[in-house]
Chain A
Amino acid sequence: MNGFRQPSVLPGFGLTLGFTTFFLSAIVLLPLAALILKTASMSWADFVDVVLSPRALASYRLSFGASLVAALINTVFGFIVAWTLVRYDFPGRKILDAMIDMPFALPTAVSGIALTAVFAQNGWIGQYLEPYGIKVAYTWLGVTVALTLIGLPFVVRSVQPSLLEVQRDLEDAAETLGATPFYIFRRIIFPTVLPALASGFTLAFARGIGEYGSVIFIAGNLPMKTEITPLLIVIKLEEFDYNGAAALGFVMLAMSFVMLLSINLVQAWARRQIVAARR
């Protein structure tokens, strides 16, 4: 172990690291490698045929588009919710704060059927949108609503701690010097929370692209229209088209890696911003 690890009096390094790598390889790494190998065994023409088929392209557009819109909605409302929870005291604040994590704890199938019930034509909210010609359930809007619910805690939980960092005396000083609330927001609050907002946005966006359970109930699942990429993989599997499923899975896996990389970059940037601000 020369140079591999620093000496320590504590025991169990070999055992715990050994078990960790074994379990990690068996459960996560080898299966993922199987997906990559399966895709690699396909011919280039077959691969392109599957991943660039019109149906696949339409599903990427929906998955990306709806995730993007949902992440943007969450950036705006996530900030408002985080601000309300950090800055104001009102009855029920603590319960509301605890409930923000609900989408993390609630099974996706439950949020899926519940959202469909609420936003369907005769649902509590759907019935008020219907007269205006707005259909949510079984359209791309429904997909967006589901992804908004799923992504909300990522933004709120990123922004909350950063709002506590905002220096209140600067706000007060600005106010006494005659700054408008909007000016204070733009020059003092926004720069402080921007890194957290960016990181929450990326997390919510990444989660949205892979989401399945909460979407399929409300989406309607029409090919070319309301079919998300994960669903297309499931359909390929049901047709026993393992190659097609693996190729699309590979594309999604590649997207996840890109998202993971961007999350790390955004968070590294955010940390630098915070360090710079403290100087």
Chain B
Amino acid sequence: MVGTTAISSAEVSRRPGRRTLSALLIRWTFIGLSLGFLAAVLLAPLAAVFTTALSEGMAAYLRSFADTDTRAAIRLTLLTAAIVVPLNTIFGVCAAWAIAKFEFRGKAFLMTLIDLPFAVSPIISGLVYVLLFGAQGWFGLWLLEHNIEVIFALPGIILATLFVTFPYVARELIPLMEQLGNDEEEAAMTLGASGLMTFVRVTLPKIRWGLIYGVILCNARAMGEFGAVSVVSGHIRGLTTTMPLHIEILYNEYAFVGAFAVASLLTLLAVVTLIVKSLIEWQASRASGN
């Protein structure tokens, strides 16, 4: 996605055109409608997160982070992301190398399969693991006999999060690496570099922005996933509740300041993600001599 969605200001037409009344009218109607629509569905909810979180003052806002369950939720979210994001990054790099650097039969089909988690409802992503590892699932009895907890425990949360964030890194890297071609890697190989050295010294520098972008998107989704994790977590307070699940618990208890305080952290994460994305796109458009 890097570079394709950014519209640089040079592309925005500054052509004089005829400043007729109707042209002006259309222009301001469009700007007005856009701003009105975005204000209602996008800006108002964002503002609501922070105003509700701070509605009882800064002290109450900060106090909500002193709660032990809230802290446990933050820790669990960080731990989950710390396990899931590296795994899916390794997968994404491997998949991109195999798919972008080689021509083989069934490639398009493999790419469709990698995209599958995007097409599936998050509830399905959680459900499939319950059917496998739940008490009445395929391996449920075996797991019980060996005293291994998957569902309603950390492994289930990690599996469900792996599922929903599965395509992110691969999806960013495959088009990028296909576009960059194989010439430089082939040159490095003929000059006697090893495969690993070729990847680290030749490929990695070229794809690093796309890789970073894929990783931060994967991270944002891993930390924010609600549906899939909700199905496998069991909502055991302070033990298996991630930040989004903790928001739900607090919200249903009418602890609005607490719920929106946790939500404000995740909103900040989303804002940082978008800022990094914009920086990367700016970098990419500058690198392409734009």
Using a CB–CB cutoff of 8 Å, the interface residues on chain A facing chain B are 3-6, 8-13, 15-17, 19-21, 23-24, 27-32, 34-35, 38, 77, 80-81, 83-90, 93-94, 96-99, 101-111, 113-115, 117-118, 123-125, 145, 148-149, 152, 157, 160-161, 164, 168, 175, 181, 206, 209-213, 217, 230, 233-234, 237, 240, 242, 245-246, 249, 252-253, 256-257, 259-260
Which chain A residues lie closer than 8 Å to B274 at the CB level? Answer: 98-99, 101-102, 105
Are the C-beta atoms of A107 and B37 separated by less than 8 Å? no
Are the C-beta atoms of A157 and B227 separated by less than 8 Å? no
Question: Number of B residues whose C-beta is below 8 Å from A?
Answer: 107
B110 is contacted by which of A20, A93, A209 (Cβ under 8 Å)?
A: A20
When C-beta atoms are compared, the residue in chain B nearest to A8 turns out to be: B102
Q: Contacts A19-B91, A20-B110, A161-B4; is A107 near B123 (CB within 8 Å)?
A: no
When C-beta atoms are compared, the residue in chain A nearest to B246 turns out to be: A109
Q: Contacts A107-B244, A113-B251, A125-B40; is A87 near B45 (CB within 8 Å)?
A: no
Can you spell out 18 A-B residue pairs with CB atoms less than 8 angstroms apart? Answer: A8-B102, A12-B98, A20-B110, A24-B166, A27-B163, A28-B163, A32-B116, A34-B128, A83-B34, A88-B27, A99-B42, A109-B248, A125-B44, A160-B7, A164-B11, A181-B22, A210-B119, A237-B127
Which chain B residues lie closer than 8 Å to A210 at the CB level? Answer: 119-124
Q: Contacts A35-B127, A105-B270; is A10 near B195 (CB within 8 Å)?
A: yes
Number of A-B contacts (CB under 8 A): 307
Are the C-beta atoms of A6 and B123 separated by less than 8 Å? no
Q: CA of A212 to CA of B243 in the docked complex: distance in angstroms?
A: 16
B42 is contacted by which of A152, A230, A233, A260 (Cβ under 8 Å)?
A: A152
Using a CB–CB cutoff of 8 Å, the interface residues on chain B facing chain A are 4-7, 9, 11-15, 18, 22-23, 26-27, 30-31, 33-35, 37-38, 40-46, 48-49, 52, 90-91, 94-95, 97-99, 101-105, 110, 112-114, 116-117, 119-124, 127-132, 134-138, 159, 162-163, 166, 182, 185-186, 189-190, 195, 198-199, 217, 220, 223-227, 230-231, 243-245, 247-248, 251, 259-260, 263, 266-267, 269-271, 273-275, 277-278
Q: CA of A113 to CA of B200 in the docked complex: distance in angstroms?
A: 44
